[in-house]
Amino acid sequence: MTTRRSFIRQGLLAAGGLMIPSSSFANFILSGKKKVIVIGAGFSGLAAANKLNQRNFDVTVLESQNRIGGRVFSHQMNDNLVVELGAEWVGNSHNRILELCNELKLDLSENQMDTHLLYKGIYSPARQWDFSKNWKLKMESLLENYRHLNDKDKLILDKMDWWRYLVNNGCKDRDLDLRELMDSTDFGESIRKVSANAALSEYVENTGDTQNQMDKKIIGGNTMLAQRLSEKLGKEKILLNHAVTRIEQGDKVKVYCANGKVFEADKVICTLPTFALKNIDWKPGLPENKIEALNELQYARINKHAMLFDNRFWKSENFDMVTDQLPHYFYHATQGQSGSSGVLISYSIGDKAAVIANQNDMTNFKSVQETLQPVFGDVKSHLKQQANYYWGNDQRSHGSYAIYGPGQWFRVRPVLKEPFMHTHFAGEHLADWQGFMEGAIVSGEEAAGEF
Ligand SMILES: Cc1cc2nc3c(=O)[nH]c(=O)nc-3n(C[C@H](O)[C@H](O)[C@H](O)COP(=O)(O)OP(=O)(O)OC[C@H]3O[C@@H](n4cnc5c(N)ncnc54)[C@H](O)[C@@H]3O)c2cc1C
């Protein structure tokens, strides 16, 4: 079987995107301890830096913010409760992150959910709703069929959007609405913007003990892993408040920061999301095809509205609920954390997220209150505190994670991945497990093995 991932790996090798150390690279390593600058202290940068450190390179990480972790952004709601405003779940299939947690002595809690549904004003408790029998059978056969597709079939499939593919295969009415609501939660935008191959390759992996890769969370917050990785590396090797503004490449690389500092290195690993990457002044300029690819790739707009309540009126610890309302998707964000108070997050995507982001917390809470009314009555008296983060306006990524639209995965990604002179690229958007912490880590480690 060729999975999306192994297929991509073959494609990259064919395109020369995966670097096999050449003799000049071998000379590079042999001629003493070489200096590498890693740009970005997200999971990708921290993973790359650790790998380089192990390989005895002299590593410095430059990070523009005053914190590490990037799009992993744990937030303390009160003294006891921590929530995630960025990356949330670790999948049971995410082997590398699980391995690192084990190595760095971090425990994970089980976090699978039992999903409720609120659709067209009718509330259906968990396990009392489903897709139609016909559509369920059809979906199973489509996933089975996908397992047997060859590479050429996948390239063709990638040109179609997921919504069109579903419609063409007889998904309609309530089934189609439910797929839109649930799958847009995974991808962060309407399924009309998602490639059919991206969707199928993701859902075909959802077998065995994973619940859509929303299985576990790191106890104490996902940021704990960033902290442990930085301790392993040596915190002195990470320079915060060092926003890279210019990269000059000649015999060596000169990296300029907004604070006036300049660094010289033999190699650079750049782990920035495409928006931040393109804002750097590159000398010489980036190749035309890379600029086009950077301009083409979009990032999904996700808004997280976290609400602390004085009790967990949703009753079951593993509560989550898909709705067809503006607040989109609710989940218990403090599952397994002790105490009687708890946090519900309203997780909205695409245009809905953009609308929510433009309102204040109280206006958004009113819409939450109205949505939850048929299920839990008036919840206002339980509200204690709110926190909101809209990734669509994040200065660095302008979105939560990359969303490869129809026709982009096999065409755009290899171009973005291709090294440019002394600079190699990594980050979630270039990974086989694209959109996940797992992907960020693995792509960072891979880039650190490219020379
Ligand atoms: C809302 C949301 C939900 C998510 N849910 C999940 C989930 O449930 N499970 C999961 O596995 N993943 C999830 N993700 C995805 C996950 O967060 C990312 O895949 C991963 O964190 C990306 O890591 P990275 O290192 O590639 O990029 P980043 O984390 O973005 O790291 C890049 C770093 O570069 C820094 N930087 C930017 N510009 C410059 C500059 N000019 N100079 C120096 N530094 C710079 C940034 O500050 C940042 O620290 C989610 C993300 C979001 C936002």
Give the span between the Cα atoms of 99 and 96, in whole angstroms. Answer: 5
Cβ of residue 221 lying under 6 Å from some atom of ligand 1: no
pLDDT of residue 28: 52
3-state helix, strand, coil in the chain (%, to 5): 40, 20, 40
Q: What is the DSSP letter of 342?
A: E
- Contact call for residues 443 and 428 (beta carbons, < 8 A): yes
CATH class of the domain defined by 4-70+222-298+403-448: alpha beta
pLDDT, residue 31, reads 57
Q: Which of 71, 74, 95 to mutate to test the pocket of ligand 1 (most atoms within 8 A of CB)?
A: 71
pLDDT at position 32: 72
Q: DSSP readout, 276-333?
A: HHHHSEEESPPPHHHHHHHHH-EE--EEEEEEEESS-TT-STTEEEEESSTT-EEEET
Closest by CA to 39, choosing from 425, 393, 343, 344, is: 425
Residue 59 phi, psi dihedral angles, 5° rounding: -110, 140
Alpha-carbon gap, residue 308 to 345, rounded angstroms: 9
327 contacts 215 by C-beta, under 8 angstroms: no
Which atom of ligand 1 is nearest to 45's Cα?
Answer: 25
Cβ within 8 Å of residue 32, ≥6 positions away: none
Closest-CA residue, ligand 1 atom 2, reads 86
Q: Which CATH number fits domain 74-113+213-221+300-393: 2.160.20.10, 3.10.20.600, 3.40.50.880, 3.90.660.10?
A: 3.90.660.10
CA distance 21 to 450: 6
Q: DSSP for 201-269?
A: HHHTT--TT-STT--EEETT-THHHHHHHHHHH-GGGEETT--EEEEEESSSEEEEETTS-EEEESEEE
Q: Where are the domains of the chain?
A: 4-70+222-298+403-448, 74-113+213-221+300-393, 133-203
10-residue mean pLDDT profile of the chain (451 residues): values are 41 40 47 90 98 97 98 96 98 96 97 96 96 97 96 95 98 98 96 96 84 91 98 98 98 98 98 98 98 98 98 96 97 96 98 97 96 95 97 97 96 98 98 96 98 94
d(C-alpha 429, C-alpha 97), whole Å: 17
Closest atom of ligand 1 to CA, residue 214: 8
42 lines ligand 1 (CB under 6 A): yes
Q: Which pLDDT belongs to residue 213?
A: 84
| 4-70+222-298+403-448 against 74-113+213-221+300-393: fold identical | no
